Amino acid sequence: MRFQIKDLLHIFLLSTGIFLFVIDLFIINVSLPTIQHGLHLRDSDTQWIIILYIIGYASLLINAGNAGNHYGKKKLYLIGMACFTVASLLCGLANNLYILLAGRLIQGISSGLMVPQGIALITLLFENPEKRSMALGIYGSIAGIASVIGQLLGGILPDQTWIHESWRLIFLINVPIGVLACFAVYRYTFNDQVTGKSKISFIPMITLFILLMGIIFPLIMGPELKWPFWSLLLLGAAIVLVLLFLKKQRKLEQTGRSSLLNFSLFNNRVFNLGLLAALAYYMVQDAYFIINSNYLQNQKNYTATMTGIAFVFQGIGYVLASVIVSKLIQRHGKIIVLYGLGIMILGLLSHLFVFNTMIIDSNQIHALFFFYGIGCGSVLPALMTLALKDLNEKLISVGSAIYLTVQQLSICLGIAFIVGIFLHRKETKFLILQNISSAYGYSIVLSVILLLFVVCTIAYLPSKKVK
């Protein structure tokens, strides 16, 4: 079954949202050291550049489906795309930290509007299950390719010499893409019907955003300020308020009123285990790129371009493994994921020994990153499938939204804990490895511990094959 040119055009236009979101998620990892130097930022400032983007995105995910039904999916997709483009221009022209952070937050919120609507419009466009599956496969491939392109551009663009402060190009490159995409989507894609029946409540989303910021803020600033009493007090109060907020939401659901979450999902043991696995896994996933990019550029004399090229090998390994695993997971189930986790753990431990040299061989780095990418590609695509496999079909949509929200919040926690250890631990030698700093060594060790937790969680799942 083949697509017509018009069908492919629709798929590519509706995939532009995820393409831009993923590129900006990965492009920043390699370019952070250059941005930090250009704007004279503190270590904690660089963490906020990523965290505000992710929290802005995650804050809208749970209600994104209802919002699309209420206001129109195409309309929200266009609004999200336009706001993302303007926010990218704001980031590219920022002359201080606060303007940059405001732009990153708006970028994240805009992504939370456009990304869910893009995939929803694709599912509406193709009623035939086989065509829909193929279309979503192309959508996923575009997201995977965007991650590789993002890391490459994150290295190449900041090293350009024909423009002053060339790191700004990583944001400005979004502007022409966004403008063209807005025009093309408006002109060539179909208009969906607005039901107007979905209830939208902004107060719970805003409340949850504030509470999550109350947790993340002391986790980021605490280590840099030597954990003053107010940071511990704020952290404890925020955790208590989050628990009270969830308790109130559950009471609303039990009385038949509108609630931010569907708590019946948490009666499913497989879903709960899947969320725990995702929580630990995604704490490692993004932190890995940040600490390795920073360490290569600041400690091992790598340029941004060299670092970006090295991460391309990780992306190639990821894409290759994910294509193969998508078929193997159906026949062999969770054992494939466990093998992938084993490869990741072995890869992380190998980082310590490969990096423990005064001058690193680029071929060794490329092979190591490729090997680690194979592990990531064997795990990440299957985690969501494993978590959702026992849910009732009617709960898949809301279950996916909760899973994706946990995914993004886990990335924030990983940046707070793993990257926090890397940035704030005193630079001493790591155990018997004389050319590895303790900051890098302990962040890798914590990553390995979290992946071992994922191994235990996945091993505890039922051994049924995945459909």
Q: Which amino acid is at 109?
A: I
pLDDT beneath 70, residues of the chain: 1, 195-201, 258, 260, 330, 332, 393, 426-427, 463-467
With H, G, I as helix, E, B as strand and everything else as coil, classify residue 196: coil
Contact 158, 167 (CB under 8 A): yes
Q: What is the three-class DSSP state of 429? A: strand
Q: Is 433 helix (H, G, I), strand (E, B) or coil?
A: strand
Q: Which two tokens stand for residue 353?
A: 């020994």
**If DSSP codes are grouped into helix, strand and coil, which group holds residue 427?**
coil
Question: Structure tokens of 414?
Answer: 């990983």
Dist. CA 101–CA 396, nearest whole Å: 34
In the numeric block, the tokens 């970028």 are attached to 107
pLDDT, position 279: 93
| Distance between CA atoms of residues 370 and 352, nearest Å | 16
CA distance 458 to 454: 6
Contact residues for 132 (Cβ-Cβ < 8 A; gap 6+): 122, 123, 126
165: left (phi over 0), alpha (psi -120 to 50) or beta: left
The pLDDT score that the predictor gives to residue 407 is: 87
**pLDDT for the residue numbered 107:** 94
Q: What is the pLDDT of residues 159-178, one digit of tens each?
A: 888 888 889 999 999 999 99
Alpha-carbon distance of 403 to 396, in angstroms, equals 10
pLDDT value, residue 178: 93
122 near 131, Cβ under 8 Å?
A: no
Residue 409 token pair: 């919040």
- Residue 427: the pLDDT is 67
The one-letter code for the residue type at 72 is G
Buried b (16+ CB within 10 A) or exposed e, 161-191: eeeeebbbbbbbbbeebbeebbeebbeebee
13 close to 178: Cβ distance less than 8 angstroms? no
Reported as a single tens digit per residue, the pLDDT across 392-434 is 767 777 787 788 888 888 998 999 889 988 887 766 777 777 7
End-to-end CA distance of the chain: give it in Å, rounded. Answer: 22
Superfamily classification of domain 1-201: MFS general substrate transporter like domains (1.20.1250.20)
Cβ-contact 377, 406 below 8 angstroms = no
Three-state SS at 349: helix
Query: DSSP letters of 106-164?
Result: HHHHHHHHHHHHHHHHHHHH--SHHHHHHHHHHHHHHHHHHHHHHHHHHHHGGG-SSST
Residue 266 per-residue DSSP state: G
Phi and psi, residue 63, nearest 5° = -100, 10
The CATH number for 268-467, chosen from 3.30.200.20, 3.40.640.10, 3.30.450.40, 1.20.1250.20, is 1.20.1250.20
For residues 378 and 320, give the distance between their C-alpha atoms in angstroms, rounded to a whole number.
9
- Sign of the Cα torsion 60, 64, 68, 69 reads negative
